[in-house]
Amino acid sequence: MITGLNHVSIVVPDIEAAARELNDKYGLVVGPRMVNAEQGVRLAYVELGAGKIELIEPSRPDSPVAKFLERNPKGGIHHLCLGVDDVAKTERSFGAAGVRMLGGGKPERNVAGERIAFIHPGDFLGALVELEEHAV
């Protein structure tokens, strides 16, 4: 079951430059930088009440985010993230409804160790959607 919108992810070519710009122009504070080695990204969040903006920068050339930057050198919105109670259960339910999931069923985790999965953009109005499980 979808519980809410967790964050919108923006790919940037330089996370430090993006953090300075968000602070200088909008007064937004970007939190600590983290690395998700499995996904090949450096990331940081801007906390905005119930939601967040996630800044993502590739940490290696074979990262899917690096490929996104090749097509969009200035960066841009990469995906939106929806919270769910149970990723595996949600994947099964969506699969029964004909929704394609990316990653071939291989369990993935975010930088906080939470289970995640991605819906194929062709099955969500052209948008890449991440599902993120939160322990209650």
Convert the pLDDT of each residue in 38-71 to its tens digit: 889 999 999 998 889 999 999 999 998 999 999 9
Q: What is the pLDDT of residue 13?
A: 96
Per the rule left: phi > 0, alpha: psi between -120 and 50, beta: everything else, 39 is alpha
If one counts the domains in the chain, the total is 1
Identify the domain containing residue 17 by its residue range.
Answer: 2-133
Assessment of whether the complete model's pTM goes beyond 0.85: yes
Active site residues: 130
Q: Which of 28-32, 64-68, 101-105 has the lowest mean pLDDT?
A: 101-105
- 122-132 pLDDT per residue, tens: 999 999 999 99
Average pLDDT over residues 65-86: 94
Read off the CATH number of the domain in which 109 is found. Answer: 3.10.180.10
